[in-house]
Amino acid sequence: MNLPCVKDYNLLEKIGSGSYSTVYKAFKKNGSHEVVAIKCVDKLNLSKSSIDNIITEINLLKILKHEYIVEMRDFFWDEGHIYIVMEYCNEGDLSNFIKRKSKLAEHVCRKFLQQLALALRYLRDHNVCHMDLKPQNLLLVKKSTLTLKVGDFGFAQYLSGSEACFTIRGSPLYMAPEILLRHKYDARVDLWSVGVIMYECLFGRAPYSSNSFPELAEKIKDMRPIELPKGSHISNECKDLLSRLLKHNPNERLSYDEFFSHDFLDLEHAPTHENFNHAVELVHKAVKADTKGCRREAYHLYCDALRYFIPILTNESDLQKKEALRIKVNEYIKRAETLKDLCVEINKSMQVNLSQETSHQDKKQTLPKGDFFDKNVCINFNELCKLSRSTTGMADALDIGKAAEEYLLEGNYELALEKFQSSLKILVPLLGKEPPGRRRDLLSKQIHKWMQEAENTKSFLITKNPITLKFLFLRIVKTFNLNPPLINCLAMIIMKSNIFR
């Protein structure tokens, strides 16, 4: 195939095409010879609306600079074409990646969605709506880790969260129902597209996969319920986000704020530059508290910092930086464990002292065994238990929370976290209905304490339980059907690459 001649660039191969453009892999003749992607737009076949789209795309890409958005390096034109020079994404697009894998594991889906959500948060800050989110427009870059980047802003436009629009834009399979049915719509249309992409990542096909456009339109018009494939297993958090994204009525669909704050994505601890700086700041505070002998405060600060450091560590592409950070993270984990052990010993001795001071009736009540035991906290908890006897649900939830603290003391983090979450699921709604008074004050303090313990427990689970080597090893062996010599070789490689060795 004869490749076109483009000034200052050598074109290597065709890597994609659209209705009025073709994308080529290329490199600049002079300079660093960095590989790029060049989108060549045929000016002769452009309609007025297409010209407007190209102008909008170029203007947007000149402004939008984000690590999860494909970067425009340059643009120019000649008599027949407009050329947009983009960064080259060496792993193709998400659509082909899904086809190669059949479907993606939930943790892989979460990583891609987290990166997509960070890009969308940036776009919302600039009042930009992409309007054509689909796996083909989500490109992948592989360095030491796989990174997703949003590309192709040909249909994008400035659109606030409440501004209504009627223009048909996007690809039918990923298009929000309100666009397809020619109803007024706003920026929430991108959230529907995210839901379809998420569904396709998890199950290997879009929820309304059809053989023709009329068939697709009929399914959407009838608002046919979107069901999970039989035999599929995803977490409750994952299922909740998916179901709330794929609401036909945009008023029932979750908002952008709810999307960005959803537990499944956990953007609060995403591997960003800002979060790295925040983690460093938390460690400095932890060291300062540790030096002063404030073990309880230091422990909480180390755990908070680790929640930020772990995603950053796993996402770091620079091997030298990754190794240096791994060493530091291991130091923080060990110090947090030491602080925890020290405080457990203090807890035990203080519980003995307090039990000698309490009345016979108070002795019958089991003292809460949370980390960093405090006499006043224990007395307040006992008072709260007495005040809650008239409310069955509250009393039961407090017993569950107390059991969580006992499991935590024993080092059973998984069960402790499960009990904390069960308790808080009951107590938090009760707090919202509780009238002002002593019981409300005590309940609020107890909920805050257990929320902190739950977060710290989750931090420890993340640091102590990365993907097991056995699971990773078996998945690779099964996928590639390796022979015994290669299995032995692979086992050695995985053992040496374990970041927490």
pLDDT, one tens digit per residue, over 72-116 is 999 998 888 899 999 999 999 999 999 999 999 998 999 999 999
Given this model, what pLDDT does residue 214 score? Answer: 82
Q: Measuring CA to CA, how many Å separate 323 from each of 24, 144, 318, 319, 499? A: 36, 13, 9, 6, 8
Specify the range with the lowest mean pLDDT, choosing from 77-81, 213-217, 224-228, 370-374.
370-374
Residue 499 · residue 314 · CB < 8 Å: yes
Residue 230 inside a domain? The answer is yes
Structure tokens at 32: 């660093």
- At residue 469 the predicted structure's pLDDT band, cuts being 50, 70 and 90, is very low
User: DSSP labels for 19-82?
Assistant: SSEEEEEEEESSSS--EEEEEEEEGGG--HHHHHHHHHHHHHHHH---TTBPPEEEEEE-SSEE
**Whether residue 367 has pLDDT greater than 50:** no
**Pairing relationship of beta strands 81-87 and 35-42 according to DSSP bridges:** antiparallel
Classify residue 442 by burial, with Cβ atoms within 10 Å: 0-12, 13-18, 19+.
middle
Same domain as 223, residue 119? yes
Q: Which domain holds residue 451?
A: 389-463
Q: Measuring CA to CA, how many Å separate 480 from each of 15, 95, 99, 246? A: 27, 21, 16, 35
Same domain as 98, residue 69? no
**Whether residue 258 has pLDDT greater than 50:** yes
- What CATH number has the domain bearing residue 257? 1.10.510.10
- At residue 494 the predicted structure's pLDDT band, cuts being 50, 70 and 90, is very low
Same domain as 148, residue 79? no
- Ranges of beta strands (E only) in 310-391 are none
Same domain as 106, residue 184? yes
Rounded Cα gap, residues 487 and 485, in angstroms:
5
- What totals of helices (H) and strands (E) does the chain contain, helices first? 18, 9
- At residue 163 the predicted structure's pLDDT band, cuts being 50, 70 and 90, is low
Domain end point (choices 70, 87, 104): 87
Residue 61 · residue 156 · CB < 8 Å: no
User: b or e along 398-428 (b: 16 or more beta carbons within 10 Å of the residue's beta carbon)?
Assistant: bebbbbbbbbbbeeebeebbbbbebbbeebe
pLDDT (average), residues 409-437:
86
pTM above the 0.75 mark?
no
Given this model, what pLDDT does residue 164 score? Answer: 53
- At residue 182 the predicted structure's pLDDT band, cuts being 50, 70 and 90, is confident
Q: Helix (H, G, I), strand (E, B), or coil: what is residue 360? A: helix
Given this model, what pLDDT does residue 30 score? Answer: 79
Classify residue 397 by burial, with Cβ atoms within 10 Å: 0-12, 13-18, 19+.
buried
Same domain as 77, residue 142? no
Residue 405 inside a domain? The answer is yes
- The answer to whether the annotation marks 39 as part of a ligand binding site is yes
Specify the range with the lowest mean pLDDT, choosing from 121-135, 216-230, 278-292.
216-230
Given this model, what pLDDT does residue 454 score? Answer: 84
Structure tokens at 431: 């707090």
Residue 446 · residue 290 · CB < 8 Å: no
Cα within 13 Å of Cα(252), Cβ side = 8
Residue 131 inside a domain? The answer is yes
- At residue 375 the predicted structure's pLDDT band, cuts being 50, 70 and 90, is low
Nearest to 184 by CA among 159, 212, 155: 159
Residue 481 inside a domain? The answer is no
Of the residues 8, 52, 132, 152, only one is catalytic, namely 132
Q: What is the pLDDT of residues 388-409, one digit of tens each?
A: 888 878 988 998 998 888 887 6
Q: What is the pLDDT of residues 330-347, one digit of tens each?
A: 898 888 888 877 776 665
Look at the block and give the residue holding tokens 């609060």: 268
- Ranges of beta strands (E only) in 117-156 are 128-129, 138-142, 146-150
Same domain as 117, residue 65? no
Q: Measuring CA to CA, how many Å separate 459 from each of 107, 299, 374, 462, 465? A: 17, 11, 22, 5, 10
Residue 214 inside a domain? The answer is yes
Same domain as 82, residue 146? no
Domain end point (choices 267, 290, 313): 267
Same domain as 124, residue 77? no
- What CATH number has the domain bearing residue 433? 1.20.58.80
**Whether residue 357 has pLDDT greater than 70:** no
Same domain as 169, residue 64? no
Instruction: Count CB atoms within 10 A of the CB of residue 327.
Output: 9
Structure tokens at 470: 């056995």
In the chain, how many domains are there?
A: 3
- Looking at per-residue confidence, does 201 or 478 come out higher? 201
Same domain as 118, residue 50? no
Residue 276 · residue 310 · CB < 8 Å: no
Structure tokens at 152: 């192709």
Cα within 13 Å of Cα(243), Cβ side = 10
Same domain as 142, residue 106? yes
3-state helix, strand, coil in the chain (%, to 5): 55, 10, 30
Q: Helix (H, G, I), strand (E, B), or coil: what is residue 246? A: coil
Q: Is 132 a known active-site residue?
A: yes
Specify the range with the lowest mean pLDDT, choosing from 51-60, 232-241, 367-376, 472-481.
367-376
Same domain as 128, residue 78? no
**Whether residue 23 has pLDDT greater than 80:** yes
